[in-house]
């Protein structure tokens, strides 16, 4: 495993381009675009104010920079560096900005969610969509880019509108049986839209593309409800995380629960592998720190039970067998984790100077080199799975991973089970 030199960064704004060729990062009001392979600066753009949000177009040809305080969006072209676009929302203000799937339209949400403005980079035309709801996840696009679903609030009721992205014509409009709609998300196949209520009422609704209610699910009443929702890549399962500390898995045939995953305070199943981070003496220096191997050392403690703090633990479930596969207990609360886009490998950071990697072959911890402590606050994978960007408060560096064969060898050397 190798690391690049450290580059300056502001506000954790750093993203790989969708085609994997470029890395964009922000330093105050400057946008820096680097070549992923050489890390040489290809373009340096200067914006009118400090950048608060960046996003690549789907074809990696454009990148937008949003400056919410000024109500501005600036768009830059990689193919034509001299070309640029400035969108000023004026007194309407700006709270969110994103690309449409075609990479030629920008959707700006004005202050107080009064409207969404759709700007065309090709025709310079402008369209308006009224009544967008202020919620955590109010806009979602189908994966093929054909349709957009939008959560709306009008006359004290929740609605969903489905638009055709090619011309922004309204396809369907229907009300939802929610008290306070919090989020919507298309299934990866684009056939089903999940709609869920606020945490005050446990309710998740499944709608077809034509607005028909396919099913409604509620696990319990009179307690805090849904916390998060996630589709499986195959669209066959819908995971619903709840405030009671359980994850419920719904199937796509009957939309009923097929199993629920709990997070108990103790684990007494000898078949479950529990990795526990342990501090090593300073003289070991940089490098990989081992976790207890699966087997005698990594299984349950002699008492047949292990206890740990939930915010410090990552639970890995086997979806094919619908069972718990492994638990990783960190010394510090987990800040974020992200799956490798190419293989079952998980990267984890806890806000410290180490990067943690898990795969079915084993688990490892790597010290991030650099002057002083590089506190890893966030991370993002390259689409190849061969590298990732590690983000601290003021810096970014790239981590280049070895092949799977090398990682397996390293795990064996660390005492991991392969």
Q: Which of 340, 317, 315 is nearest to 330 (CA)?
A: 315
- Is 205:195 a contact under the CB 8 Å cutoff? yes
pLDDT at 409 over 80: no
- Sequential DSSP letters for 360-407: TTEEEEEEPPSSS-----EEEE-TTSSEEEEE-SSEEEEEE---HHHH
- How far apart are the C-alpha atoms of 193 and 321, rounded to whole Å? 26
> Cα separations (Å) of 96 from 84, 93, 107, 179?
20, 10, 8, 24
Q: What is the DSSP letter of 10?
A: S
Q: Residues 234-253: what's their mean pLDDT?
A: 97
pLDDT at 298 over 70: no
Beta-bridge partner residues of 120 = 105
Tokens encoding 152: 């709306």
pLDDT at 287 over 90: no
**Residue whose pair of structure tokens reads 């109500």 in the numeric block:** 71
Full-model pTM: 0.88
Q: Residues 217-225: what's their mean pLDDT?
A: 97
Lowest-confidence region among 136-150, 295-309, 354-368: 295-309
Taking each continuous run of H as one helix and of E as one strand, the counts in the chain are 1, 39
The secondary element (H helix, E strand) that includes residue 329 is: strand 323-329
pLDDT at 126 over 70: yes
- Is 170:191 a contact under the CB 8 Å cutoff? no
User: What does the mean pLDDT of the chain come to?
Assistant: 90
Long-range contacts of 102-105 (CB under 8 A, 24+ apart): 102/58, 102/145, 102/165, 102/166, 103/57, 103/58, 103/59, 103/61, 103/62, 104/57, 105/165, 105/168
Q: Considering the chain, what percentage of its residues have pLDDT values greater than 70?
A: 89
Tokens encoding 33: 């675009």
Q: Is 123 exposed, middle or buried (0-12, 13-18, 19+ CB in 10 A)?
A: exposed
Question: Where does the pLDDT of residue 404 fall: very low under 50, low under 70, confident under 90, or very high at 90 and above?
Answer: low
Predicted pLDDT of residue 323: 95
Beta-bridge partner residues of 132 = 152
- How far apart are the C-alpha atoms of 299 and 19, rounded to whole Å? 41
- How far apart are the C-alpha atoms of 226 and 65, rounded to whole Å? 33
User: For residue range 311-361, what is the model confidence (pLDDT) as tens digits?
Assistant: 999 999 999 999 999 999 999 999 999 999 999 999 999 999 999 999 999
- Is 313:321 a contact under the CB 8 Å cutoff? no
pLDDT at 162 over 90: yes
Question: Where does the pLDDT of residue 183 fall: very low under 50, low under 70, confident under 90, or very high at 90 and above?
Answer: very high
Q: Is 412 exposed, middle or buried (0-12, 13-18, 19+ CB in 10 A)?
A: middle
Cα 293–Cα 317–Cα 137 angle in degrees, nearest 5: 130
């Amino acid at each position: 495993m190798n690391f690049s030199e450290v580059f300056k960064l502001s506000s954790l704004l750093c993203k790989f381009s969708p085609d994997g060729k470029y890395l964009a990062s922000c330093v105050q009001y400057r946008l820096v675009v680097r070549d992923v392979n050489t890390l040489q600066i290809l373009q340096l753009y200067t914006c009118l104010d400090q950048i608060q949000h960046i996003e690549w177009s789907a074809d990696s040809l454009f990148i937008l920079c949003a400056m919410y305080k000024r109500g501005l969006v600036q768009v830059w072209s990689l193919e034509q560096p001299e070309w640029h676009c400035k969108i000023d929302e004026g007194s309407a203000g700006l709270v969110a900005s994103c690309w449409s799937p075609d990479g030629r339209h920008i959707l700006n949400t004005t202050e107080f969610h009064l409207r969404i403005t759709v700007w065309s980079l090709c025709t310079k035309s402008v369209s308006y969509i009224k009544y967008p709801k202020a919620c955590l996840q109010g806009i979602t696009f189908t994966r093929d880019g054909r349709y957009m679903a939008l959560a709306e609030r009008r006359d004290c009721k929740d609605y969903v509108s489905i638009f055709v992205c090619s011309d922004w014509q309204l396809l369907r409009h229907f009300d939802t049986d929610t008290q306070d709609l919090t989020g919507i998300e298309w299934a990866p196949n684009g056939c089903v839209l999940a709609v869920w209520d606020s945490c005050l009422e446990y309710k998740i609704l499944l709608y077809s593309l034509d607005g028909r209610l396919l099913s409604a699910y509620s696990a319990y009443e009179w307690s805090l409800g849904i916390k998060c929702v996630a589709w499986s890549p195959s669209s066959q399962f819908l995971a619903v995380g709840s405030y009671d500390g359980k994850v419920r898995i719904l199937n796509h045939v009957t939309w009923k629960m097929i199993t629920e995953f709990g997070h108990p305070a103790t684990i007494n199943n000898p078949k479950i592998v529990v990795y526990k981070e342990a501090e090593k003496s300073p003289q070991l220096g940089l490098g990989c720190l081992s976790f207890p191997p699966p087997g005698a050392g990594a299984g349950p403690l002699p008492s047949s039970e292990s206890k740990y703090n939930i915010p410090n633990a990552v639970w890995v479930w086997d979806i094919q067998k619908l069972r718990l596969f492994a638990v990783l207990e960190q010394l510090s609360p987990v800040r974020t984790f992200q799956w490798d886009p190419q293989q079952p490998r998980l990267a984890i950071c806890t806000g410290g100077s180490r990067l943690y990697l898990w795969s079915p072959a084993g688990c490892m911890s790597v010290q991030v080199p650099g002057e002083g402590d590089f506190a890893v606050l966030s991370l993002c994978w390259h689409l190849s799975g061969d590298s990732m960007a590690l983000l601290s408060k003021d810096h970014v560096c790239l981590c280049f991973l070895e092949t799977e064969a090398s990682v397996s060898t390293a795990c064996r050397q660390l005492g991991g089970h392969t």
